[in-house]
């Protein structure tokens, strides 16, 4: 994968020329202070915002050239998202939240429920699948959102501060789970974080500052 | 379901119900009037007049006799030749007769028709039978002959007699007519009439007349006026043309008009009333439609609010793979459901209202067998359901497009 782009918003250059390759199966941490452009980088990577210039290639797909609808379909097939604030739909149960991603992919209801249940099993929340987000703890909600990211079996999962709202014990649980998924499912993870503790689970750490890559450390 | 959504649905319910009830009242008026007019088979009878002057407008200058078609016996024969015509009879009227039944005096009119074709005419007797072709002195009574204007001393009023026309079947009644002779003296003639039957209601003059043979009526007329009728030159004032069925009415009408006679049929009235009632329904439906328009604005408002509230949700859905059309269809489906549910409930409510309106109207107006003020046709129900769903759908389009075009990142960040 090759990416090279700038993003300008009101002529403020947030990303000032990033060139980065990520191999399949890697677990990459994007580390940096706030304002360093790491979240923006992740959003551009996920096709949520277009780059001002440059290309993003994921496998053979040039996602920087895709229309919004193509991006939606691409995300549905290839990408999973995990957010700091979980972003679950509050009126739906854990099971429904996880199954929602499959609804848009046109999967039949029985298969949807079966796969949602499997995904919740992976994150260890099968016994809570009938609960709404408000009835779950922060760690549990984040596990539901991980299950949602997994349910399509995407090749790449993009996580924006997945442990940002969690205490250190729960954070460790979540990171261990992500590490296990990375090893077992061979999924590529790109994790934005400002917490150095998180980086110790990753195979590669990219230090970002002021819209540029400062250092790229394999570990 | 949100309270806000329920209120919006109530708006659609009111809109739909007001359209249905309004149109149903138009329907009801049309139905009761057309039923009244066409219920008795008189649709297949055409009234043919010599021309408009025979309807009492002789005074309007007379010089046009030259090209005037005369409704005489030759014309009657010609009328009979028209395709689809079953029977033609001249009509000769006599008014000012009186009969005495059970020591009460009743003013009567005679309507003379050709007994030779009486069997082929659409006259139906409710009891008794029609006179044969040669029963010159036999008559049929209109059903309201004895109910009509009865003379009770000085005042004239509508009053039902204790004697029913049916009671007179088989009896002879005596009719008296009067005339003033050249010396200013009143002369009286009596005529015995044998009642053979009572005519089913036609909704026309027959109800208040005694049907007799036109030869007899012509004779009585000649006595009353003291002049010999010159049918050949002056013609009959009216003829009745009976046709096969209602489908040929319009064809026969135009053929008779081509013979320069004036034709008057129930079909013409029904046709012209049809368009009047269509206008009435559009008008009433339009009034009801205003309520649905307001409901439509309500749906747009609710959907817009709902999208503001669910911006984050929309963002999440887009991030996890919902396409633009997924989001758009989701919101259009939602607003269509609001329209559809509102329409369904509105239909149920208007069905109940319709029954209530008819019940209450029945209490005030009376009449046997209930009153039809409001009449809901199946077509109206289907239209209302379709229309309310359409209103819901259209109301949802703009908000749904707005929702679908939200930037997923901005949406997911909103709270």
B7 touching chain A per CB within 8 A? no
* Cβ contacts of B85 within 8 Å, gap of 6 or more: B79, B241, B242, B243, B244, B252
DSSP, res B200: P
**And the tokens for A88?**
């679950």
Show the domain range for B389.
1-38+272-413
Is B154 within a domain?
yes
In this complex, do B312 and A87 lie within 8 Å of one another by their Cβ atoms?
A: yes
Higher pLDDT, B283 or B181: B283
Is B255 within a domain?
no
Distance from CA of A219 to the nearest CA of B (A): 31
Residues B21 and B122 grouped into a single domain: no
Searching chain B, which residue's CA lies closest to the CA of residue A146? Answer: B320
In angstroms, the CA B204 to CA B46 distance is 12
Interval A132-156 mean pLDDT: 91
Residues B13 and B58 grouped into a single domain: no
Neighbours of A70 (CB within 10 A): 14
Collect all residues of chain A within an 8 Å Cβ-Cβ radius of residue B312. 87
In angstroms, the CA A96 to CA A165 distance is 23
Residues B19 and B64 grouped into a single domain: no
Is B110 within a domain?
yes
Percentage of residues in chain A having pLDDT higher than 90: 36
pLDDT, position A39: 86
Average predicted confidence (pLDDT) for chain B: 83
B323 touching chain A per CB within 8 A? yes
Interval B191-220 mean pLDDT: 85
In this complex, do B412 and A49 lie within 8 Å of one another by their Cβ atoms?
A: no
pLDDT at B175 over 50: yes
pLDDT at A2 over 70: no
**And the tokens for B92?**
């000769």
> What are the boundaries of each domain within chain A?
2-218
Phi and psi at residue B64, in whole multiples of 5°?
-110, 25
pLDDT, position B352: 95
pLDDT, position B389: 95
In this complex, do B323 and A69 lie within 8 Å of one another by their Cβ atoms?
A: yes
Please name every residue paired with B158 in a beta bridge, in sequence order, or none if there are none: B149
Higher pLDDT, B102 or A145: A145
Interval B132-143 mean pLDDT: 83
Q: State the pLDDT confidence band at B59, using cuts at 50, 70 and 90.
A: very low
Query: What's the Cα-to-Cα distance from B142 to each of A89, B29, B123, rounded to whole Å?
Result: 79, 27, 10
pLDDT, position B290: 92
In angstroms, the CA B219 to CA B275 distance is 44
Residues B294 and B373 grouped into a single domain: yes
Neighbours of B99 (CB within 10 A): 20
Q: Which CATH architecture describes the domain A2-218?
A: 3-Layer(aba) Sandwich (3.40)
User: What's the pLDDT tens digit per position in A72-86?
Assistant: 888 888 999 998 888
Is B343 within a domain?
yes
Neighbours of B147 (CB within 10 A): 17
Is B85 within a domain?
yes
Searching chain A, which residue's CA lies closest to the CA of residue B329? Answer: A104
Q: Which helix (H) or strand (E) holds A9?
A: strand A3-9
In angstroms, the CA B396 to CA B291 distance is 18
In this complex, do A43 and B412 lie within 8 Å of one another by their Cβ atoms?
A: no
A68 touching chain B per CB within 8 A? yes
pLDDT at B63 over 70: no
In this complex, do A87 and B408 lie within 8 Å of one another by their Cβ atoms?
A: no
Q: State the pLDDT confidence band at B40, using cuts at 50, 70 and 90.
A: low
* Cβ contacts of B388 within 8 Å, gap of 6 or more: B12, B15, B16, B292, B339, B340, B342, B343, B346
Distance from CA of B325 to the nearest CA of A (A): 9
User: What's the pLDDT tens digit per position in A184-217?
Assistant: 888 899 999 888 888 889 999 999 988 888 888 8
Is B252 within a domain?
no
Residues B301 and B339 grouped into a single domain: yes
Burial-class residue B331 by CB neighbours within 10 Å (0-12, 13-18, 19+).
buried
Searching chain A, which residue's CA lies closest to the CA of residue B322? Answer: A104
pLDDT at B274 over 90: no
> Side by side, which strands form the sheet with A61-62?
A12-20, A3-9, A53-58, A61-62
Higher pLDDT, B184 or B388: B388
Least confident of A6-20, A31-45, A182-196, B201-215: A6-20
A66 touching chain B per CB within 8 A? no
Domains in chain B, number: 2
Distance from CA of A161 to the nearest CA of B (A): 14
Is B187 within a domain?
yes
pLDDT at B313 over 80: yes
Using CB atoms and an 8 Å cut-off, which of residues 284-313 of chain B contact chain A? 312-313
State the Cα angle at B39 between B33 and B45, rounded to 5°: 105
Of B207, B197, B196, residue with least CA distance to B142? B207
Q: How many CA atoms lie within 13 A of B126 on its CB side?
A: 15
In angstroms, the CA A64 to CA A56 distance is 5
In angstroms, the CA B162 to CA B140 distance is 19
DSSP, res A208: E
Searching chain A, which residue's CA lies closest to the CA of residue B313? Answer: A89
Residues B77 and B212 grouped into a single domain: yes
Collect all residues of chain A within an 8 Å Cβ-Cβ radius of residue B412. 83, 87
Residues B13 and B57 grouped into a single domain: no
Pick among B317, B319, B407, B412 to test the A interface (most A CBs inside 10 A) = B319
A72 touching chain B per CB within 8 A? yes
Interval A57-67 mean pLDDT: 87
In this complex, do B321 and A69 lie within 8 Å of one another by their Cβ atoms?
A: no
Query: What's the Cα-to-Cα distance from A125 to each of A98, A171, A173, rounded to whole Å?
Result: 11, 16, 13
Residues B65 and B22 grouped into a single domain: no
In this complex, do A46 and B313 lie within 8 Å of one another by their Cβ atoms?
A: no
Residues B208 and B92 grouped into a single domain: yes
A101 touching chain B per CB within 8 A? yes
B171 touching chain A per CB within 8 A? no
Interval B80-101 mean pLDDT: 87
A141-160 burial string, b = 16+ CB within 10 Å, else e?
A: bbbbbbbbbbbbebbbbbbb
Residues B84 and B148 grouped into a single domain: yes
B77 touching chain A per CB within 8 A? no
pLDDT at A154 over 60: yes
User: What's the pLDDT tens digit per position in B323-348?
Assistant: 899 999 999 999 999 999 999 999 99
Asked if A14 and A37 count as a contact pair (C-beta separation under 8 A), the reply is yes
pLDDT, position A116: 93
Interval B133-143 mean pLDDT: 83
User: What residue has token string 């992976």?
Assistant: A122
Q: State the pLDDT confidence band at B55, using cuts at 50, 70 and 90.
A: very low
Residues B130 and B169 grouped into a single domain: yes
Searching chain B, which residue's CA lies closest to the CA of residue A157? Answer: B320
Gyration radius of chain B's alpha carbons = 33
Using CB atoms and an 8 Å cut-off, which of residues 131-150 of chain A contact chain B? 148
Q: State the pLDDT confidence band at B129, using cuts at 50, 70 and 90.
A: confident
Residues B185 and B294 grouped into a single domain: no
Percentage of residues in chain B having pLDDT higher than 90: 26
Closest partner residue to A81 (CB to CB) among B313, B320, B324 is B320
A70 touching chain B per CB within 8 A? no
Helix axes B266-309, B311-319, angle to 10 degrees: 80
**And the tokens for A209?**
């500052």
User: What residue has token string 């007519």?
Assistant: B177
User: What's the pLDDT tens digit per position in B342-394?
Assistant: 999 999 999 999 999 988 888 887 665 567 788 999 999 999 999 999 999 99
């Amino acid at each position: 994968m090759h990416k090279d782009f700038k993003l300008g918003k009101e002529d403020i250059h947030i990303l000032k020329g990033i060139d980065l390759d990520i191999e399949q199966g890697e677990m990459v941490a994007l580390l940096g202070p706030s304002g360093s452009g790491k979240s923006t980088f992740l959003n551009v990577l996920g096709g949520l915002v277009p780059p001002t210039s440059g290309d993003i290639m994921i496998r053979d797909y040039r996602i920087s050239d895709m229309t919004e609808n193509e991006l939606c379909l691409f995300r549905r097939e290839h990408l999973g998202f995990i957010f700091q604030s979980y972003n679950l739909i509050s009126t739906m149960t854990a099971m429904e939240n996880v199954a929602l991603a499959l609804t848009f992919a046109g999967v039949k209801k029985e298969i949807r429920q079966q796969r949602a249940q499997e995904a919740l099993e992976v994150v260890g929340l099968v016994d809570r699948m009938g609960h709404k987000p408000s009835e779950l703890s922060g760690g549990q909600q984040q596990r539901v959102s991980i299950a949602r990211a997994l349910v399509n079996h995407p090749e790449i999962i993009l996580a924006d501060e997945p442990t940002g709202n969690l205490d250190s014990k729960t954070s460790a649980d979540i990171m261990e789970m992500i590490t296990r998924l990375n090893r077992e499912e061979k999924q590529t993870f790109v994790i934005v974080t400002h917490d150095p503790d998180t980086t110790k689970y990753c195979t590669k750490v990219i230090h970002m500052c002021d819209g540029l890559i400062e250092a790229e450390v394999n570990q | 379901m949100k309270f806000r959504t329920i209120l919006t649905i109530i708006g659609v319910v009111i809109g739909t119900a007001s359209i249905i009830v309004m149109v149903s009242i138009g329907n009801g008026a049309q139905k009761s009037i057309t039923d009244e007019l066409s219920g008795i088979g008189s649709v297949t009878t055409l009234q043919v007049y010599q021309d408009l002057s025979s309807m009492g407008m002789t005074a309007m200058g007379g010089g046009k006799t030259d090209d005037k078609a005369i409704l005489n016996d030759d014309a009657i024969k010609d009328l009979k030749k028209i395709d689809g015509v079953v029977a033609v009879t001249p009509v000769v009227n006599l008014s000012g007769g009186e009969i005495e039944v059970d020591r009460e005096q009743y003013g009567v009119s005679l309507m003379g028709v050709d007994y030779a074709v009486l069997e082929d005419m659409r006259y139906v007797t409710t009891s008794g039978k029609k006179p044969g072709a040669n029963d010159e002195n036999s008559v049929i009574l209109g059903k309201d002959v004895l109910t009509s204007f009865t003379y009770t001393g000085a005042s004239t009023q509508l009053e039902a007699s204790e004697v029913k026309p049916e009671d007179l079947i088989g009896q002879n009644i005596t009719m008296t007519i009067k005339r003033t002779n050249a010396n200013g003296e009143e002369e009286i003639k009596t005529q015995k009439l044998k009642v053979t039957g009572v005519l089913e209601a036609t909704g026309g003059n027959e109800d208040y007349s005694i049907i007799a043979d036109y030869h007899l009526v012509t004779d009585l007329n000649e006595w009353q006026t003291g002049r010999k009728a010159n049918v050949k030159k002056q013609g009959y004032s009216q003829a009745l043309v009976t046709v096969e069925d209602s489908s040929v009415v319009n064809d026969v009408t135009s053929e008779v008009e081509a013979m320069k006679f004036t034709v008057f049929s129930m079909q013409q009235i029904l046709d012209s009333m049809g368009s009047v009632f269509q206008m009435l329904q559009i008008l009433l439906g339009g009034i009801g439609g205003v309520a649905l328009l307001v409901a439509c604005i309500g749906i747009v408002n609710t959907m817009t609010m709902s999208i503001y509230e669910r911006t984050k949700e929309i963002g999440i859905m887009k991030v996890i793979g919902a396409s633009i059309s997924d989001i758009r269809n989701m919101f259009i489906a939602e607003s269509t459901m609001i329209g559809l549910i509102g329409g369904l409930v509105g239909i149920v409510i208007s069905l109940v209202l319709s029954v209530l309106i008819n019940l209450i109207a029945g209490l005030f107006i009376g009449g046997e067998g209930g009153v039809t003020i409001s009449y809901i046709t199946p077509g109206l129900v289907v239209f209302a359901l379709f229309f309310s769903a359409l209103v819901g759908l259209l109301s949802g389009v703009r908000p749904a497009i707005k929702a679908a075009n939200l930037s997923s990142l901005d949406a997911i960040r909103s709270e």
